[in-house]
Structures are given as structure tokens and as C-alpha cells.
Structure 1
Amino acid sequence: MPANPFNTPPPYEGGCACGAVRYRIEAETIGSRVCHCRICQKAMASPFLAVASFPKKAVTVTGETARWRSSERLWRHFCPKCGSSVTLEPLDGDRLGFPLATLDDPQSINPEMHIWVSAKVPWLMLSDGLPQYPEGSPEPYRTA
């Protein structure tokens, strides 16, 4: 699946709520998804996580982060001062995910699909026309 044509070109910048952690990304996204799984719901204290992934080599993060291993395959990095989730680091790939809400311009990257809609909260209506998958995406991440 190609990137959303309405995305703005890199670089992208963002950070945590208090500003102690900042990041800069020098590449196009290799995938942008809205995840409705229970782990993302609880970790984000929200009904879903909208996240874009990028090659690690294109990312610079400044400031101290703490991390939590939320599953066998994922570390979640957050700011120890304000608690904002900043980065998701899969153990099965050379990529990092960034919550779209942490971007300085959260409109610069658009989601491409919804995943784990089998766990979606029932009061949330999805009417954006994006593909919806009951579990993980059948689409692989794009290569950089």
C-alpha cells in the first residue's frame, strides 16, 4: 500500500508534552496505521493509537526516555518527566513508530488503515473510508 498522497514531505519533528524529548525524522513514512488493540488503548489512555513508522537510520531523538516492554515484540519509549508516549520500537524490524499526535504538525501524516478493529471500542464509529482489519495488517511495511 502506498503512502497517503496528502502527507507533507519530510522532515518531520515532534516531541513529548513537556518538551524534554524531541525527535526529527528525515524520511517518508514506511507505514501509518491506527491501532485499536487493547494494549495500545491502555498504553495511550485512548480508544486507539495513530502511529507512523520510519527507518531507524532516518530518526534522531534527543532527551532522556524510559521504556516499557508492552509485548514480546515491542518496547514503548516515553518521557519520564511528563509521561508522554514518544516512540514505539519493534524488536522484529529496523524501524521506529511515532504517535501522530506527538508531531509538531499532526496533520502532516495521514493514516493508511485501521488494525485490530476486533478490539475497537463499540461507541467509536469509523467513517474515514480507510481499510479495516480485524487483527494486524496483511500489508507489510514499505522498504525505505
Structure 2
Amino acid sequence: MRYILFIIAVSLAVYSCDSTKSAMKGDKISATENDTIRIANDSLEYEIIIIEPGFNSWLVTQPSRGYYGLNYLENKNRFFVSEFNARVRNPQRYSPSLYPQEINYNFNTDYGYEVNYLLYNYFVYFQEKYNQHLPGGRR
């Protein structure tokens, strides 16, 4: 089964644990559930999982679904995924804790609006939160 695994949370959660420890005391399950977005389609055999503390609350402050066109999101995601994967393959220059594994995003697959919208917004969030700059991203 082909996956778009976006479990940066494993490494990013470890990376960001210090800032969320006090907020998660005694309520780990709901905090994890609130910060997890999962979209899957078994017929297309893809899955996107975003587990990032603060992503959901940040997402509601962004332009709503429908603001960007599907072509815009797909084009941005092509650039972002290509650059992200290049950084994964270059651990001497880019931190493996920020770039733990490649994203399996097939440019010829129609993932639909929702997946592209969430993936695009995750890249914007990632750049802002971790002070990274991916070509074509907001500054």
C-alpha cells in the first residue's frame, strides 16, 4: 500500500515536547486527538497524517477551504514536496529531526482538494513554526 506519510510528528513531537509538556499533563489522549488530522482513501491507497501540536488552532486562522484553487495548491505542493524531500536526502546540511523522512507524493495522482489544502497549509505552518524557508513559500 502506497502512503503519503506525513508523520513528522514522531520527530517533531519529540522536538517540541518541552513546550507542550505542561499543557498535556493528565490529558494526553485528548491533546493528541485534537492535534491529529488523518485523511485516507483506501481505493487510491493513500493516507495523510498530520500530528503537530498547535496545527489545528493555527489552521483556523488561515484562509478557508475554497480560497485557493486546486491547481494552485497542487503546484505549490509539488515545489514544497520536492524541496522537502531534497532536504531529507541531505542530512549533513538539514536537520534530520526536522526532515525525518521523504513524503511519497505522486504528482500524477489526483488527491483531491482536501489533501492538497491540508498539505499546503502544513508546509506553511512548518515554515513559520520552525523558521524554515521552502522556495515559493510565504515569508
Q: TM-score with structure 1 length normalisation?
A: 0.27
Greater helix share, 1 or 2?
2
Q: Normalising by structure 2, report the TM-score.
A: 0.28
Q: When you count strand as a share of all residues, which structure comes out higher?
A: 1
**Larger Cα-atom Rg:** 2
